[in-house]
Amino acid sequence: MKQKFLIMAAVCSLGAALLTTGCDGKKTEENPFLSAYDTPYEIPPFDKIKTEHYMPALQAGIEQQNAAIDSILSQEEITFDNTILALEESSEILDKVTHVFFALTESDSSDELVAVAEEFEPALSAHNDEISMNPRLFERIKYLHDNADSLQLAPEEKRAVNSYYKSFVRNGALLSDADKEQLKALNTELTGLYQKFNKNLLDATNEFAIVVENESELAGLPESNIAVAAEEAKARGMEGKWVFTLHAPSRLPVLQYADSRDLRRQMYEGYTSLASSGKYDNAPVINKILQARAKKASLLGYENYGSYMTENVMAGKIESAENLLMKIWTPAIARVNEEVAEMQSLANEEGNTFTIAPYDYYYYAEKVRQKKYDLEESKVREYFPLDSVRNGIFTMAQKLYGVTFTEMPDAPKYNPEVKVYDVKDAEGNHVAVFMTDYFPRASKRQGAWMSEFKGEWKDGDGKSSRPIIYNVGNFSKPVGDTPALLTLDEVETMFHEFGHGLHGMLTQVALRSQSGTNVDRDFVELPSQIHEHWAMEPELLKVYAKHYKTGEVIPDEMIAKLEAASTHNQGFTTTELVGAALLDLQYGKLNNPNDTIDVMAFEAKVANKLNKPEQVQYRYRSPYFKHIFGSDGYASGYYTYLWAEVLDCDGFELFKEKGIFDPETAASFKKNVLEAGDSEDPMVLYERFRGHKPSPDALLRNRGLIK
């Protein structure tokens, strides 16, 4: 009851700025963030949300949370419930508005949203700083931290207290007042720099295009990709021509199939020089980010920013991450040398005199695959229409965890391309809402991701508030009467993001801060990556992989070829990923706040030190390495994909041993990983599921780098 009063007090304090009437219970048109959503399962009412609603709602959310914190500080007794639990329940409005705002800025942005972000994000950052540096609030958390045993806190409560304590310390709670002000200024500066980096990247991506006028240059490309390029040209007023962009469904087929070496070169150079020069050059932004991070790390007592970022996760320190990566790097580059030799031999057989260049890699890797395994991916794609793959991920979830997905065609959605599903368990109980948004558009950033519009938690009576989870992708689009036909990489990506989705949907914990994907960065990729393994398992392929024209189930012969080719080109794939992770860690080691580096020279220096094969580029070059420069989420943490892959490959070997849909194994994974969130130490949870500590050998076996 007190919490409801605080919410109303915060809302009413803004008066006419938010509501067209007073706070007497009568309302006409109001800010939708400031009242309960009158929608199925509290899905945000996207059709009612307008650009002008964000800032007033943010201000109302800030006032609501400040009022709640004042109430916390007014209590003489210090308990878990009146401090930690009350803090977790203090941000109802903020959660609603920030979840929608950040979802749309990433997946359905506009010039208006970008303009709002310039005010919204710094204001939110400043508010978060005020909380994390509040000395009286920290005193209460410190008391609970220091007295956790005598207060007889439950294990998950003790873990939550410890997490809050560490978070406050890492965000400046122990600093002097003057240093706190400096830290706030640095955080505000970094927020603005991340905005600038992301805007440059989006604008540079959308500006680049290759216009093809001569049809002969399209030789080798699948008809579906040629049709998409023709549609893109028509949309740009260039009917009769073909336009290719840097979005993956356009870029990758050119690199993989185009017979024109010049066309491949144009695409490769366009991508690898993205946001690297001119008005969208991200190099100056990167330097300012690195300088601000160095100052922040020093202020907080760390040798460098990498030490600050790795201290609070499973790895613990940069050296642990590097040691793992180097165990993978050495066999990976050895395999690259073998792959390049095979490609060069094939190119020579064709009468070519050139040396394999980076922009030849995808093309000749595909040719080698066709020659060695008689497997042409353009033909394989015909068995993977998007709707069939969607059936595959839903079937996997039903067989493993007993959940079903029913489309809600009339549910609110932020874009017409979004699909919404009601997720239920075997008894018919509502589990979650799941949304998908799979096709590229100019308003959406590149890549694929999962997030939420509402998290999960339990109230005092043990009743669970169920989550609203969404997956976003940039997959191949349908063309005319031909449905979207996914590449093998897109299929795995769809399973990957759905794995994150399951982590968010199936969670069953009491505290918001411990639910779903709120886990260590180097553990969060376990649920996503382990579910990739099911994508190519024959037992599941027989269920979902069906020809888009005939409905024919994928033949056994093709499945056998897919299995035989499963480790094809893994030297390249592993090297570009590990190289990017090692580059990220080298950035994390920089500690001079006054240094200005030549970004491209720095990349080259790292590559030279690693003896990186010249034919393989970093998966992301620095100017478009959004994971580490678009926010601090994966800064000095891109390695976590491989750290988690050690876990997922080791864990999936248990499923292979017991049966990929073994009920007991699936129930254990669901209980100890998907449901548990951050309620216990992640390695404890993993070992409880697996029965032993993981080793990198399973990863190396899975990638075919060792026997």
User: What tokens appear for 17 in the block?
Assistant: 């700025």
CA dist 256 to 248, 265, 368, 558, 617, Å? 11, 12, 12, 20, 15
Angle between helices 283-299 and 177-207 (to 10 degrees): 160
Catalytic residue among 497, 525, 576, 675: 497
**CA 442/CA 100 separation, integer angstroms:** 19
CA dist 151 to 72, 82, 145, 156, Å? 18, 14, 10, 13
Q: In what order do the strands lie in the sheet with 430-437?
A: 404-407, 419-424, 430-437, 468-472, 449-454
Q: Judge contact between 436 and 423, C-beta under 8 A.
A: no
**CA 377/CA 515 separation, integer angstroms:** 39
Q: Any idea which residue has 């005020």 for tokens?
A: 130
**CA 491/CA 478 separation, integer angstroms:** 15
The DSSP line for 488-548 is HHHHHHHHHHHHHHHHHHS---S-GGGSTT-S-TTTTHHHHHHHHGGGG-HHHHHHH-B-T
Angle value at C-alpha 52, between 48 and 58, nearest 5 degrees: 95
Give which of 628, 617, 393 is closest to 521, Cα–Cα.
628
Q: Judge contact between 558 and 383, C-beta under 8 A.
A: yes
Return the HEC string of 70-132: HHHHCCCCCCHHHHHHHHHCCCHHHHHHHHHHHHHHHHCCCHHHHHHHHHHHHHHHHHHHHHH
Task: Quote the longest CA-to-CA distance of the chain.
Answer: 84
Q: Measured on CA atoms in the order 394, 398, 403, 408, is the torsion positive or negative?
A: positive
**CA 456/CA 513 separation, integer angstroms:** 9
> How many CA atoms within 13 Å lie on the side-chain side of 415?
23
Contacts of 81 (CB under 8 A, 6+ apart): none
Q: Give the phi and the psi of residue 470 in degrees, each rounded to 5.
A: -140, 150
Q: Judge contact between 105 and 117, C-beta under 8 A.
A: yes
Angle between helices 640-658 and 525-532 (to 10 degrees): 50
Query: Which letter does DSSP use for residue 674 in this model?
Result: I
User: What tokens appear for 186 in the block?
Assistant: 């640095």
Angle between helices 682-690 and 640-658 (to 10 degrees): 20
Active site residue 497: yes
**CA 554/CA 541 separation, integer angstroms:** 7
**CA 314/CA 682 separation, integer angstroms:** 8
> What are the catalytic residues?
497
